[in-house]
Amino acid sequence: MTLSKIKTAKFRHYFDMTDVDNDGVITKADFEIAAEETRKELGLEAGSNEAAELTQSVMSYWESLAQHADADHDGKVELQEWLTHWGHIVSSQEMIDQLVGGYGQTVLSVYDRDGDGKLSYEDFSAYYLGHQIPEENCKIAFEKMDADGDSYVDNDEFYQTAMQFFTSDDVESPGNYLFGDFTHYLNN
């Protein structure tokens, strides 16, 4: 399925946010850097069980992309492969449900450090900063996701906004901002 204009903008932005080393393609190296930097942001000791769980969750995302998105199997997910991959995923509500449900579980198990079932800004920002996503994008995302403004993103808020990121074609949906401000991709 071809992505709508707004989804293309969101997924181009998401591509650039996932290309941690900025070499124009998504490779294993991007996830290795993200896992290590996120470990530091979360204050996890190298070699600890928590660090291993984090690395596993980050690298399993790469493995899934390598398997499903890297169509020519050259170890690089190029922008076109990425957009084709997401076009395929968002065409199926079942795949979206699986993905967003999985994200929610991972996010809460890895990033909710005090285990209260919701993400403070500090919990939340570890992911973004670890993935070298500029803090301004992180602040925008947190503000949009915290629908009731209590300074925490809880499970429902996470689910609602992540779902909007993958499904919404409404430019006003807060969930579009899951990875920060994508709007400059709308016009070029």
Residues that bind Ca ion (CB under 5 A): 19, 21, 23, 30, 70, 72, 74, 76, 112, 114, 116, 123, 146, 148, 150, 152
Instruction: Assess contact for 44 and 54: CB atoms under 8 A.
Output: yes
| Gap between the Cα atoms of 119 and 135, Å rounded | 16
Give the shortest CB-53-to-Ca ion separation in angstroms: 16
| Gap between the Cα atoms of 137 and 17, Å rounded | 10
Please, which residue, 152 or 182, has the CB nearer to Ca ion?
Answer: 152
Instruction: Assess contact for 108 and 139: CB atoms under 8 A.
Output: no
Instruction: Assess contact for 179 and 124: CB atoms under 8 A.
Output: no
Please, which residue, 30 or 110, has the CB nearer to Ca ion?
Answer: 30
Give the shortest CB-186-to-Ca ion separation in angstroms: 23
CA distances from 52 to 10, 49, 67, 144 (A): 30, 5, 22, 30
Residue type, 31: F
Give the shortest CB-94-to-Ca ion separation in angstroms: 26
> Side-chain half-sphere of 60: how many Cα atoms within 13 Å?
10
* Residue where the block lists tokens 């993103």: 153
Please, which residue, 6 or 124, has the CB nearer to Ca ion?
Answer: 124
Give the shortest CB-48-to-Ca ion separation in angstroms: 19
Give the shortest CB-111-to-Ca ion separation in angstroms: 8
Please, which residue, 24 or 101, has the CB nearer to Ca ion?
Answer: 24
Give the shortest CB-77-to-Ca ion separation in angstroms: 6
Helix (H, G, I), strand (E, B) or coil at 96: helix
Please, which residue, 6 or 17, has the CB nearer to Ca ion?
Answer: 17
Please, which residue, 6 or 34, has the CB nearer to Ca ion?
Answer: 34
